Amino acid sequence: MNNPNSIRPLPILSLTLDYLLDEIMDVDQVTHSFKIYTFVADRVRAIRQDLAIIGDTSADTHIEILQRIARFYCLAMNEGIGLENYDQKHNLDQLKSTLLSLRESYQEVNSMDDVQQPYSDNQLEFLSYSIVVHIDDQFLCTEILRSISELTAFII
């Protein structure tokens, strides 16, 4: 079990992710260095672990961090294809796990509202990513499409 004193609070996790994605990982360099991708992916996994332990899945910062992590994995899926030793299955598994956590966070936020509405403009974007990566799971796709249908009914 992790020591509660070693878990970084949400603002620190957000700053850490900012540093990793904005300073360490230069998009132009990703295709040239598997070491950079591996380092950032390892640190991102640690951030996700801290988020899971914190457990406040409805916090805005929690959701924003997960959204940025999901985008990192989407970028890595595209950019990592040509890298030697790149494990696309591992990256896809990490993306699926992140999208599941994000979907659960959206559901928690939506359950707190009397009106079913999108948490943010980005919610539909990430639910769409979920469909793409889970296209082989008919049950899950149906559930995600149902969520999208409910949310788009509010928008229209």
> Higher pLDDT residue, 138 or 90?
90
Q: Which residue has the higher pLDDT, 98 or 129?
A: 98
Which value, to the nearest 10 degrees, does the dihedral of the CA atoms of residues 75, 120, 128, 137 take? 110
Radius of gyration of the chain (CA): 16
Residue whose C-alpha is closest to residue 115's, from 76, 70, 68, 151: 151
pTM of the full predicted structure? 0.82
Sketch the domain layout of the chain as residue ranges. 4-114
Q: Scan for tokens 């390892």, then name that residue.
A: 42
Question: Is 73 in contact with 91 (CB distance < 8 Å)?
Answer: yes
pLDDT greater than 90 at residue 97: yes
Q: 20: which 2 tokens?
A: 């990793």
Q: What is the pLDDT of residue 119?
A: 60
Amino acid in the structure at residue 156: I
Strongest mean pLDDT among 28-37, 46-55, 79-88: 46-55
